Amino acid sequence: MIIGITRTRIPDEYRVGLPPRMVGNLVRRGHQVLVERNAGLGAGFPDTQYEQEGATVCHQAEEVWGRADVILKVNTLAPDEYDLVREGQILMSVFHLAVADRRLLEKLVAAGCTAVDYVTIEDAQGRLPVLRPLSQIAGRIVPQIAARYLQTDHGGMGILLGGAPAVPPAEVAIIGAGTVGRNAVRACLGAGARVTLLDNDLDRIAELDWMFPGRVTTYPANQATLAKVFSYANVVVGAVLVPGTRTPHLVSRAMLDRLRPGSLIIDISVDQGGCFETSRPTRLSDPTYVVDGVTHFCVPNLPSLVARSATYALANAAMPFIDMVTRGALDDPQALPPVLASGVNILRGEVRHPGAARALGLPERES
């Protein structure tokens, strides 16, 4: 197969579809790999490293798109890439197709493409093996963001995240006890903050209470408990995920009145629509805005802050599925491995994932 890795056109996205060493693995298995010039530069991978691993560096994106059977990306397509999509092509990426631009879906369908969305790949235990490492990174980076935007020079409350002798630490509230939430709890505790966790899954709450005995305050997530926690929180983290569909708005604008001016909201769920009514996507170069005195940090591609680490983490998790595809797993739709099938949102122009179909108003595949 001819495998293409293109440079992302999404603003402030620095990750790349595969690092050089994994490109080398594909070349040694007999595949030809085309890499667009400077595709890996943002993550610290110069073209020479790809060439040393046997890849061909192409100076134009059109050449990669025009020749490749499979395109590997790390984010959705930018609008100026839609017309580069070739008929029958296979695309693999973190698409978030449930909240994607409808024009992209229509293009993929019209071109008879196959789209494997890493976000919806789910194993037999209900885990999301490719999304998980990105969620881990997003959770672990929370204290870095919180510390910065609590600073006075960033419009914050002037609170030291970990506190000081005779001075209490910041209060961090985390909504959602999934992978993002658990990692955010761990990282914020490690930074010295006081942490409150809210979730509707009591088993998850019990697990976190057992892991951090006496160190985390836990509540079921409902309007009464959210109101209570908002009365004292300095930082609120949205870490809610409903796989394959838009995240519900759990926090209304009216509830922001309970937060003190200078408080911070970090909505990690914004890549699936956001769990705050006031959330809207921002970008790393302009990551925040203020609503009713509360700073909002709503960057969809948060792991791109650590582009090199995130590229390796994603590639490690995605490589088994890339191998399946390059070995012909998509040739027979009836024999698709279930774990791969869960990630195939579009197969040869047919919308197969119900969440994407419902969200974008396209015909849902009959079971």
Same domain, 94 and 152: no
Q: Work out the pLDDT band at 362, boundaries 50, 70, 90.
A: low
Overall domain count for the chain: 2
Same domain, 153 and 287: yes
Q: Is 96 a catalytic residue?
A: yes
Q: Work out the pLDDT band at 244, boundaries 50, 70, 90.
A: low
Same domain, 105 and 163: no
For range 165-181, the mean pLDDT: 96
User: Would 126 be classed as within a structural domain?
Assistant: no
Q: How far is CA 34 from CA 51, 82, 107, 206, in A?
A: 10, 19, 23, 48
Q: Which of 90, 81, 133, 5 is nearest to 343 (CA)?
A: 90
Same domain, 155 and 176: yes
Same domain, 206 and 324: no
More confident of the two residues 274 and 197: 197
Give the three-class secondary structure for 231: coil
- Give CA–CA dist 354/129, Å, rounded: 20
Specify the pLDDT at position 242.
Answer: 74
Q: Which of 72, 80, 121, 79 is nearest to 100 (CA)?
A: 79
For range 50-70, the mean pLDDT: 97
User: Would 15 be classed as within a structural domain?
Assistant: yes
Q: Are strands 2-5 and 70-72 parallel, antiparallel or unpaired?
A: parallel
Listed residues 256, 282, 300: the one ending a domain? 300
Is residue 88 pLDDT above 50, yes or no?
yes
- Give CA–CA dist 143/193, Å, rounded: 9
User: Would 349 be classed as within a structural domain?
Assistant: yes
Q: Which of 62, 76, 47, 48 is nearest to 4 (CA)?
A: 62
Q: What CATH number should be reported for the domain holding residue 260?
A: 3.40.50.720
Report CA dihedral (117, 123, 129, 132) to the nearest 10 degrees. 90
Query: Choosing from 31, 96, 296, 353, which is the catalytic residue?
Result: 96
Same domain, 210 and 275: yes
Same domain, 107 and 162: no
Same domain, 188 and 203: yes
Measured in residues, the chain has a length of 367
Q: Which of 89-103, 110-124, 183-197 has the lowest mean pLDDT?
A: 89-103
User: Would 366 be classed as within a structural domain?
Assistant: no
Q: Could you tell me if 314 and 130 are in contact, meaning their C-beta atoms sit under 8 angstroms apart?
A: yes
Same domain, 166 and 68: no
Is residue 364 pLDDT above 70, yes or no?
no
Q: Which of 16, 29, 116 is nearest to 323 (CA)?
A: 29
Same domain, 69 and 29: yes
Q: Work out the pLDDT band at 366, boundaries 50, 70, 90.
A: low
- Give CA–CA dist 221/117, Å, rounded: 29
Q: What is the DSSP letter of 258?
A: G
User: Would 365 be classed as within a structural domain?
Assistant: no
Q: Are strands 114-117 and 344-347 parallel, antiparallel or unpaired?
A: antiparallel
More confident of the two residues 250 and 71: 71
- Give CA–CA dist 13/268, Å, rounded: 16
Q: What is the DSSP letter of 140?
A: H
Same domain, 12 and 74: yes
Q: Work out the pLDDT band at 367, boundaries 50, 70, 90.
A: very low
Is residue 96 pLDDT above 90, yes or no?
no
Listed residues 249, 268, 300: the one ending a domain? 300
Same domain, 180 and 202: yes
Is residue 74 pLDDT above 90, yes or no?
yes
Q: What is the DSSP letter of 235?
A: E
Query: Choosing from 31, 267, 271, 296, which is the catalytic residue?
Result: 271
Q: Could you tell me if 43 and 16 are in contact, meaning their C-beta atoms sit under 8 angstroms apart?
A: yes
Domain extent, residue 83, equals 2-121+307-360
% of the chain exceeding 90 in pLDDT = 87
Question: pTM to 2 decimals?
Answer: 0.92
User: Would 367 be classed as within a structural domain?
Assistant: no
Name, in order, each residue with C-beta under 8 angstroms of 108's C-beta and a sequence gap of 6 or more. Answer: 85, 91, 115, 346, 349
Q: Which of 292, 242, 297 is nearest to 272 (CA)?
A: 242
Listed residues 300, 328, 347: the one ending a domain? 300
